Amino acid sequence: MAKLPSPSANFASVKLEEMTLRSRLLKDVHAPPTHALSKVTIVGVGQVGMAVAYSMINRNIGELAMIDIDERKLKGELMDLQHGLQFVPFVKIAASTDYAISKHSKLCIITAGARQRSDEDRSSLLKRNIAIFKGIIPHLIRYSPDCVLCVVSNPVDLMTFVAWKLSGLPSHRVFGSGTSLDSSRFRYFMSDRLGIDVGNCHGFVIGEHGDRSVVVWSGVNVAGVRLAELSPAAGSADDPENWRELHTKVVQSSDEIVRLKGYTSWAIGMCVSELASAVLKNKRSVYALSTFAKGFHGIIEDVFLSLPCVLAENGVNAVVNQPLSPGEREQLQSSARQMHAILKDLDF
């Protein structure tokens, strides 16, 4: 009679296969810590900051601190939220112009920034936002040296790089909202066209937030069925159904919303509150986040661009190794080169 392998031998073989597959799928950035805090600080109580705050108080986060230089508005926003605490899960909310209120935060979210003037170029706007970040980042790190930083302020990829440099934190603990909202918009437009719930429509928009973002068409799928298998031309210039139109809508959405209502707020608020929940609850969920991109897909510059990131309690734990087409890789590398050229001319 042939001798059967022991259960332990089978287990070891399975574990080896899992580890091999995992190493092919993910590139680890940092091991998760062994403890977590639940306090979140939001810097900036404009339309975006308050949309984030409102979305978060419905998520049972524990403690929320808000900081802004406008003391009058800050007090009004605080009172308005506090008067509705009966109707949400328990949360402690406080606000101040003093950064001491942020002490012991697990996550610090930065939405503050200057608005672009009508005749202002990108370089001038960046310099003004860098000056603002110089007055924010050191204070946050002083009171919460173990925190994770989430940057929402635009241009988000460049400002996330700035936040990383000013903070002195390891890169995995600094990330930007990046193309997480772009990806959400893409999934919505896909679900709307197909008539299928957005939760079953999957696809990533990666790279630079804005006009030069990249849709990874090879990975777009509905309930595991890849669009490329049903229509190999999907997303290409030869596609008779013009699926590329979805990406055009994604790129144009922000400007259209601003034209209609004056600003964007609710979608990014819901998006960032989801990212915060992933950090606080150590979810290890995957989002398209602005992260340190050097070494991925042939990128050789020190830049932050959006890639599918595993987000957990200590920030970005891993990056998913997506198979990209040569064209998609070149788009990413081109964005990296252009961004690096801008960063070289900035003094911070």
Residue 46 banded pLDDT, cuts 50, 70, 90: very high
- Residue 252 belongs to what domain range? 180-344
pLDDT of residue 223: 93
Counting residues of the chain whose pLDDT is more than 70, the rounded percentage is: 90
pLDDT single digits (tens) 101-157: 999 999 999 999 987 666 666 677 888 899 999 999 999 999 999 999 999 998 999
pLDDT band for position 238 (cuts 50, 70, 90):
confident
- Give the model's pLDDT for residue 62: 85
Positions annotated as catalytic residues are 209
Residue 24 has pLDDT above 90, yes or no: no
How confident is the model over 243-302, as pLDDT tens digits?
Answer: 999 999 999 999 999 999 999 999 999 999 999 999 999 999 999 999 999 999 999 999
Name the band, by pLDDT with cuts 50, 70 and 90, for residue 8: very low
| Token pair belonging to 288 | 């398209």
Which pTM does this prediction carry?
A: 0.89
For residue 31, being part of any structural domain is answered with no
Q: List CB contacts of 181: < 8 A, sequence separation 6 or more.
A: 267, 268, 271
Q: Is 25 domain-assigned?
A: no
Same domain, 159 and 188: no
The predicted structure's pLDDT at residue 38: 87
> Torsions phi, psi of 35, nearest 5?
-145, 165
Q: Say whether both 316 and 197 belong to one domain.
A: yes
The answer to whether residue 27 sits within a structural domain is: no
3-class state of residue 214 by DSSP: strand
Q: Are residues 142 and 235 in the same domain?
A: no
Number of domains in the chain: 2
pLDDT of 5: 46
DSSP-derived secondary structure letter, 6: P
Please choose, from the candidates 171, 159, 178, the residue with its C-alpha nearest in 3D space to the C-alpha of residue 295: 171
* CATH number, residue 187: 3.90.110.10
Is 265 within the bounds of a domain?
Answer: yes
Domain edge (last residue) among 159, 176, 193: 176
- Separation of alpha carbons 178 and 130, rounded Å: 18
191 falls within a domain:
yes
pLDDT at residue number 347: 67
Domain co-membership, 81 together with 187: no
The amino acid sitting at 159 is: M
Q: Could you give the CA distance from residue 293 to residue 161 in angstroms, rounded to a whole number?
A: 11
217 in Cβ contact with 235 (< 8 Å): yes
Which stretches of the chain are DSSP H helices?
A: 7-25, 47-56, 71-82, 122-134, 137-143, 156-167, 180-194, 227-230, 244-261, 266-280, 326-344
Q: Tokens representing 345?
A: 């001319």
Q: What order of strands is seen across the sheet that includes strand 201-202? A: 201-202, 221-222, 225-226
Residues 226 and 158 in one domain: no
Residue 23 maps to a domain: no
